[in-house]
Amino acid sequence: MRSLPRVLIVEDEPAIAELIAVNLRHNGFQPTWALDSETAQRELDAVLPDVILLDWMLPGESGLSLARKWRADARTRSVPILMLTARGDEADRVAGLDVGADDYITKPFSTRELLARIRAVLRRRAPEQAGASVTVGDLALDPATYRVSWMGQALKLGPTEFKLLHYLMTHTERVHSRAQLLDRVWGDHVFIEERTVDVHIKRLREALGPAGALVETVRGAGYRLTAQLPTASPACSGG
C-alpha cells in the first residue's frame, strides 16, 4: 500500500540523469528529472519528493544556491538533499554540507553506492519509510501487515487514514499544519484543499474509537498525535 519513494533528480546532463532515473525506477523508486533550477523549483512546488539528488554544476542557479534556498523554506526544509559533485572538490563538498545537504556523492558513482546513500538518508529522515511497526502507548500499527490495533483489538482504517496515522505515529507530540500533512501524507498538495485533511482526521478519530482522543486539534495550528490520553475532566470524576 505504501507508495514508492519519490526522487527528484536535478541534473543538466541528460545521459547522467537518464541513467540515474532508469536505475532508480528498477529499484523501487519514483524518479522525476529537472534539467535546470527553474524546472526543479516547479517540480518541488507541485509535488514534494522524499529525496532530492542535486547536481552541483547547473546552468544558471547553482546546486549550492538551490540547497540553501530549499533549506530556508519551511515547506522543503526537511526533504533530504544528496548533492552530486565532481571528483576531488573537497571544498565544494564541505560547502554543500554547510548549507544543509544531507550527504554528497562524488561523480562518477556506482548505482549500488547511489542507492545505498539514498536509502541511508531516507532512513535517517523518515523512519516510516523503513516499514517497521510502530507503537504509541496502546496503539500499534504494522505497515508490513497493514494492521492497526488498540489495546490488542484490531481496528479498521481506510488507506488514507492508515497513511495519516502512520505519519502521525512516527512524528508524535509535534504539531503538523494541514499543509504539512498534505505534503507528507498525500504527497501532492496542489489539487487538494486543506479541508480534506480535516475530513480524514475526523474519519481517523472515528475509526480509532476511544483512542481517537490521541489525535488532538491544536487550534489555529493543526493536529498532533499524543502518547497520553487526556485525563478525564473534573466534571466526570464525580465527588
Q: Which residues bind Ca ion (CB under 5 A)?
A: 12, 55, 57
Pick the closer one to Ca ion by CB: 12 or 61.
12
To Ca ion, the closest distance from the beta carbon of 9 in angstroms equals 11
To Ca ion, the closest distance from the beta carbon of 12 in angstroms equals 5
To Ca ion, the closest distance from the beta carbon of 92 in angstroms equals 12
Alpha helices in 154-194 (DSSP H): 159-170, 178-181
Q: Residue of minimal CB distance from Ca ion?
A: 57
To Ca ion, the closest distance from the beta carbon of 55 in angstroms equals 4
Contacts 24+ apart (CB under 8 A), 185-193: 185/160, 186/160, 187/3, 187/6, 187/47, 187/48, 188/46, 188/47, 188/48, 189/48, 190/45, 190/46, 190/47
Pick the closer one to Ca ion by CB: 35 or 175.
35
Pick the closer one to Ca ion by CB: 57 or 120.
57
Pick the closer one to Ca ion by CB: 55 or 161.
55
Q: Please, is 220 exposed, middle or buried when counting C-beta atoms within 10 Å of its C-beta (0-12, 13-18, 19+)?
A: exposed
Taking a C-beta distance cutoff of 8 angstroms, is the pair 165, 148 a contact?
yes
